[in-house]
Amino acid sequence: MKYLYNDPELKERRRELRKQMTPVEHLLWSKLRGRRFLGLKFNRQFSVECFILDFYCPELRIGVELDGFQHLSEQGTAHDAERKTILNEHHIFTIRFMNHELSNLDGVLNKLRSFCLNRLPLEHKGDRGGLGIAFFHLFRYKRRGSSTDTTGVHAGER
């Protein structure tokens, strides 16, 4: 049986990657975990076919990739193009950040926020594409009148 998501054959590799997260992955994960970012659920090291995403939001079908310099090589660029094609076939859209961009964490979170908000409403809602909780959290922040959400960006800047 062919698995599209979280193939059991990749389970050990995904587990290894979670244990060996880079410092920038730890930093971003600290902002994404536990629905801390826009009330959205993110998973670490989620696989789609043979590719493993650094982070994945099933509610919006968004993958987040943190890339080192190996992705700038000719081989890395070709691999990323193949990955993008396969992910797009599954209606998963990816936003990529170079590792050094995480030195401006607020800037990265703002770009990710815009990317997420542009995915609402979901174009291709599948069995994992429910948006109710995402809308609930987005509007909850506005109704509370809080000056900041859990990402530390002022509500008026959204």
Instruction: Write out the two tokens for 115.
Output: 């990317």
pTM score above 0.75: no
3-state helix, strand, coil in the chain (%, to 5): 50, 20, 30
Taking only the tens place, the pLDDT of each residue in 50-93 is: 899 999 999 999 999 998 766 566 777 888 889 999 999 999 99
Mean pLDDT of 124-145: 48
Distance CA 5, CA 21 (A): 21
Specify the residue for token string 């193009």.
81
Helix (H) or strand (E) holding 136: helix 132-144
pLDDT at 125 over 80: no
CA atoms 139, 140, 146, 148: torsion sign = negative
pLDDT at 126 over 90: no
Specify the residue for token string 């960006």.
153
Distance CA 6, CA 103 (A): 30
**CATH class, 8-118 region:** alpha beta
* Close Cβ partners of 139 (under 8 Å, ≥ 6 residues apart): none
The residue type of 65 is E
